[in-house]
Amino acid sequence: MKIFNAAFGFLDNLRKRRRRRDLWSALHAELDRNLELCHVFQQRGVLDKFYLDAWRQIKDQLASPEGEFIADQLRRVEIYNELMEEIRLFEKNYSADVANKTLANAKELHRKKEAAWEKFESIPLALRAVREVDRNLSK
């Protein structure tokens, strides 16, 4: 029975390490994809949300100082995504009915988009910093 428990424990630890490695690999790929999106957004002059699926899966495992740094930087991206969702809903409401197409609503939409561009400016730096820490951790 002890041999069975030891073997099972070993396999369980191996599975957990493999799962953690896969999550970090997914985070790394997601960071690269988001950095590519940054360039596309800048070139096209159009903003959209970033991918955060891998980060949502791994954020509970970030207990080290490097992990806290990664979490802080990626929270910026999450806040930006929330703002983009708010803009998308406001824009949908604005476009849905002629009664909503007022000067006040147009100014509000313009203000929200400017705020999104301001928040966007820090995103590429944050993503590059996280990618660098991620690479150092995976060595």
Residue written as tokens 């100082």? 65
Q: Tens digit of pLDDT for each residue in 106-129?
A: 999 999 999 999 999 989 988 888
Contact predicate 131/35, CB 8 Å: yes
| Identity of residue 14 | L
Q: Where are the beta strands (DSSP E) in 19-98?
A: none
Q: Tens digit of pLDDT for each residue in 51-85?
A: 988 888 877 776 777 778 888 888 889 999 999 99
Q: What share of the chain is helix, strand, coil (3-state, %, to 5)?
A: 90, 0, 10
Q: Tens digit of pLDDT for each residue in 14-31?
A: 888 888 788 888 888 888
Residue written as tokens 């100014």? 107
Structure tokens at 15: 């599975």
Q: Cα separation of 52 and 31, whole Å?
A: 9
The pLDDT, as a whole number, for residue 7 is: 60
